[in-house]
Amino acid sequence: MSKASPGPTPGFLVWRLANKWRVAVDRALAPLGLTHAQYVLVASLHGMQRAGERPSQRRLADNTGLEALYVSKLARALESAGLIERTRDARDPRAVQLALTEQGRAVTRQAITVVQELLQQLLEPLGGLDAPRTRAFTDELTTLLDAPLTPSEPNDESTQGRTS
């Protein structure tokens, strides 16, 4: 809560909404054997493959906003489950390329349908997925996501009185 307003801060509300969404997606995808984070990876990979790409783990990390190390961990788990293939890039032996298997494509298509239905339900109070309020909300979220955040310096004796 902020001293300036009696209600919850925007940051708190974003955090609550993100958690509400993650929990709902986790529960909805559990029957398919996917977590929300795994879904983000396979759905992004699905879209990139449809566009003709066979992305590296790094490229997929950049695309999803997930840490590269986390993408690597998720990719290994999804490979063990038979949903993706991980192969070394012939042009760069340090890079690992990812592709959905046939089973992975089938599970991902099911998961996308489940998440789209859940998204419609979440956005119903704004008029649904294609509503003007939803488009405006999406634009506002995009603006916030595009704004860079830099952590402030700690307020200790070594930084007091200095201007950087």
Output the pLDDT for position 160: 52
pLDDT at 92: 83
Q: Which of 22-36, 64-78, 107-121, 141-155 has the lowest mean pLDDT?
A: 141-155
Check whether 1 has a pLDDT greater than 70: no
- Cα separation, 17 vs 157, whole angstroms: 37
pLDDT tens track for 87-128: 988 888 888 999 999 999 999 999 999 999 999 999 999 999
Here the tokens at position 27 are: 């529960």
Local confidence band at 151 (pLDDT 50, 70, 90 cut-offs): confident
Q: Note the pLDDT of residue 156.
A: 55
Q: Quick one: tokens of 101?
A: 């298997």
Q: Is the pLDDT of residue 63 over 70?
A: yes
What's the CA gap between 119 and 123, in Å, rounded? 6
Write the CA distances from 81 to 33, 57, 100, 133, integer angstroms.
9, 17, 11, 39
In angstroms, what CA-CA distances link 107 with 29, 79, 98?
10, 13, 16
Overall average pLDDT of the 127-144 stretch: 95
3-state secondary structure at position 87: strand
